[in-house]
Structures are given as C-alpha cells and as structure tokens.
Amino acid sequence: MSISRKPDDFKLLVSDQCRNNITAGRESKVAYESFLHVTRSAHGLHLLYETTRGEHLKDNALLSTIKSLLSCSKSRADRYQALLENQALPPKPVITRWETFVLTALHHHRNFNENETRVFASQIEARAADS
C-alpha cells in the first residue's frame, strides 16, 4: 500500500527548535508553497537562554561560585545570611531550568551593592579585630 500526497495536503509542521528541524522546515517550504513551519516556544526560549548564558560567562561563573559557596556549608550560608541581616538567600540556579538562573541573576543584580558593602565592612571589622 502506498500513500501519495499532493503538495497542497502538507500544510503544517510542528517541531522543536533544533537546527536539523529548522533546516528541514526551511527546505520543505520550497517544495510546499502553502506550508507553515511552527517551532515550539519552550525550545526557542531554552535556546535563547543557552545563547545568553554563553555570552555572559563571567556572570555564569559568579553565580555558580556563589551557589557552590552557599550550598556546600550550612554554617557559611548562615553567616552570609546573618551579614545580610536575614535577607533571603538567592535562589539556587539549576542548569536545566533556565528560569532559576535568571531569577538568581536578578536577585544578585537587585542586591549586589548593598550586599557587597555589608560583606566588605564585615571583612574590615574582622581584620581590625585581629590586629
């Protein structure tokens, strides 16, 4: 049994955002004039996130360092939170969940100057107490 299709039968292709599917959609558009290629938006957003994260390597390294410093030691996280006067700790970024990375970056962006001042002031006080 063979199935033959007329060019007008093929109207819509729904695919994810990978390069092979985008290429296939572009090439299919040549053969099928009334053809529409739609990619799923979640994959497009993820690709956008990965591209953005790749363009901001220093920011990514900073967030990863802060995450590892705060998650490896409960006492370190408690001291950091005490320095910040019980301000909420930043969310933990998860690589596969792009929104956690963005929320963590926004948290640090909003609070960076205030937190930096408190941490450096505590370091200066500690050095003064040691001498």
Beta strand extents in the chain (DSSP E only)? 12-15, 36-39
Output the pLDDT for position 7.
Answer: 57
The pLDDT-based confidence of 91 (bands split at 50, 70, 90) is confident
Query: Does the pLDDT value for residue 98 go beyond 80?
Result: no
Give this prediction's pTM: 0.52
Per-residue model confidence (pLDDT) at position 3: 55
Q: How far apart are CA 13 and CA 32, in angstroms?
A: 11
**Closest by alpha carbon to 80, among 116, 109, 130, 124?**
116
